[in-house]
Amino acid sequence: MMSALRGLGCPTMKGLAAALERGRVAPPFRRSQMQGHVPDEMLEGVLGELEDLSSSGMAPGHIAHMLRLLAEERAAAQAIADRVELVWSGTEVMAGASRDTAVVVQELFREARESVLIASYALDSGTKAEALFGALAKRLEAEPDLRVRLFVNVHRKHKDETAEAVLLREFADAFRDEIWPGDRLPEVFHDPRSLATDGKKRACLHAKCIVIDEDRALVTSANFTEAAHHRNIEAGVVISDTMLAHALKAQFDTLVDHGALKRVPGL
C-alpha cells in the first residue's frame, strides 16, 4: 500500500513541510491542524503517518526535511518523464500519452536548425517519398547551413552476384530520381557488409532513428515508408535530451570515421 505522504502532490508536500517548520502543525497531530494543508480525502492517512513518524522519534523539522526531499525527487522524476514521449503508428485508437509517428517526424524536421540525422532500413519512393521527405528537402535547399545525413540499408537480393559498384550506382540513381524530392542532396551512407556476396558475412543497417541538432532524438521501429508511418503498428520514443542525442549521433559519426559506414558514391 502506497504511503499517504507519497500520495501528496509536490505543492502540498512543500506546504506541509513549511507548516511543520513554523510550528503550525506539531505533535500531538490533530485534524484541525491539518485542514487547509492536506486534501480532506487524504487527511486521515497523512495524520496517521505523521503520528507514526513522531512516535518513532522524528521531530517536526526532520519530517519537514523528509517531505522536501520527497518533493524534490518527485519534481526531478517528472522533469525526466516530460522529456520522453511515446510515439505510435498503425491504428486510430491511441492512448492519451502517445503521439502519431508521421506528425512527430515532420515536427522534428521543422525544428531542425543545424543538422538532421536519419537512419532507416527501408525507404519509399515516388509520391510516398515526397510526402515523407518533401518538407525537409525544401528546407535543405533553402537553408545552406542545414546538414542532412541519411544512413540506409543498400542490399543485394538473394543469390545476386552483381558487382558492388554496380549496385551502389543503381541505388544512387534511384535515390536521385525516385526517392529524394529535391535538387540539393543529403549525404547518404551505407553498411558495406550488406553487399557482401558471402551470406555468412552479410549484415544490414537495421537502425531506425532521427537526431535533430544533437538535441532531440526519435528511436523507433518505423522505417521511412508510408506504411510504417501510417498503417503498420510501430512504436518508438522521442527524447528531448542533449546527452542522448549527442551520443546517438556520435555513434554514427564514429562508424563513418572508422570506415564501418561508407558514403554512397555520387550522393
**In angstroms, rounded to a whole number, what is the distance separating the alpha carbons of residues 9 and 14?**
9
Mean pLDDT score, 10-29: 91
Mean pLDDT score, 182-205: 93
Beta strands in the chain (DSSP E): 84-89, 98-100, 115-120, 147-152, 187-190, 209-212, 216-220, 234-240, 262-263
Which sign, positive or negative, has the C-alpha torsion 201, 122, 210, 239? negative
Residue 97 reports pLDDT greater than 70: no
Least confident interval from 53-57, 86-90, 146-150: 86-90
Q: Lay out the sheet containing 115-120: strands in order across.
A: 98-100, 84-89, 234-240, 216-220, 209-212, 115-120, 147-152, 187-190, 262-263
Prior bond of 11 cis (ω within 30°) = no
Q: Locate 46 and state its grid cell.
A: 497523512
Residue 47 reports pLDDT greater than 70: yes
Specify the CATH number of the domain 84-263: 3.30.870.10
Residue 103 reports pLDDT greater than 80: yes
Is residue 3 very low, low, confident or very high in pLDDT (cuts 50, 70, 90)? confident
Q: Locate 47 and state its grid cell.
A: 495524520
The chain-wide mean pLDDT, for the chain, equals 91
Ramachandran region, residue 121 (left: φ > 0; alpha: ψ -120 to 50; beta: rest): alpha
Residue 126 reports pLDDT greater than 90: yes
**pLDDT single digits (tens) 144-160:** 999 999 999 999 887 78
Q: Locate 41 and state its grid cell.
A: 480525502
Under 8 Å CB-to-CB from 166, ≥6 apart: which residues?
Answer: none
